Structure 1
């Protein structure tokens, strides 16, 4: 039996996410945008709620194609509000559209969103050495800094807690606990 991080439940979906995605460095802009959308929708909710609805989000948001999302007309926004398969929060749906537009602005400025976001960690993951859940932070000075920068650029639902969860998800920080089989030795 594999020893996993404390937050992993018996859910196969959770185990699969933990084992194959969480903490694995992501440099692809399309995947970075997908996680940005999912993390912003997760704000105030449990991650398992988002994982359970991930395929619905994927379908509703055109496979997380930020170029399409950035051009969503009001009619698409209205239809998303009616989609029971996703989180029907007006502000979060609106922010997905706004964040897609701003994501492309960052790409123009830096060449890719990946270059921008990974520059905060000099292009390589921060490997933390946490032994138990009480040691894993919800925010850090770095997530505060990224949050502040994104907010200044106009991004929505990118508070420090959301940004730290994002950093964990896309592997900018590796917070697998030292007893987890995914902890890098």
Structure 2
């Protein structure tokens, strides 16, 4: 039995889907998982019906050879960055592209927090690889409009995690816990 609900009836359901990221997942994911499981099972049933009704279709393919494999794009790392020398050097800050911050972080912040960025706001950064939280300052540079994480960036991340030029990191804003989540996605190859 399918029940249609309006947008207002889903106010308790998070729109973030973070399945499969172990320690990076918060306790508020159950409603999202239930919604995802419902959607996945509905899709799977539809695919099964399509396969049964189309007896001349190659296994794993739908009408006209279209793949029926369901792929979930569960990648929370909306900000991915290859570490540059300037991120780990004497400038002691992680530079973040303005378009990524404006597109993925600021829409989740309230007006008071956004206003504070010009002077710098204290933010928590959860390192999900080491399960540790660090306090940094998040700020917008007036000269070029880019955003930076600084104050304790060098000690909390560069030195502690041994970041090197070419390492790829990922960041996203965890709305449920009001903090950034950080991970080292790929280490630079050693030549």
Q: Normalized against structure 1, the TM-score is what?
A: 0.23
Q: Normalized against structure 2, the TM-score is what?
A: 0.23
Work out which structure has the larger RCO, using CA pairs closer than 8 Å and 6 or more positions apart in sequence. Answer: 1
User: Could you say which structure has the higher strand fraction?
Assistant: 2
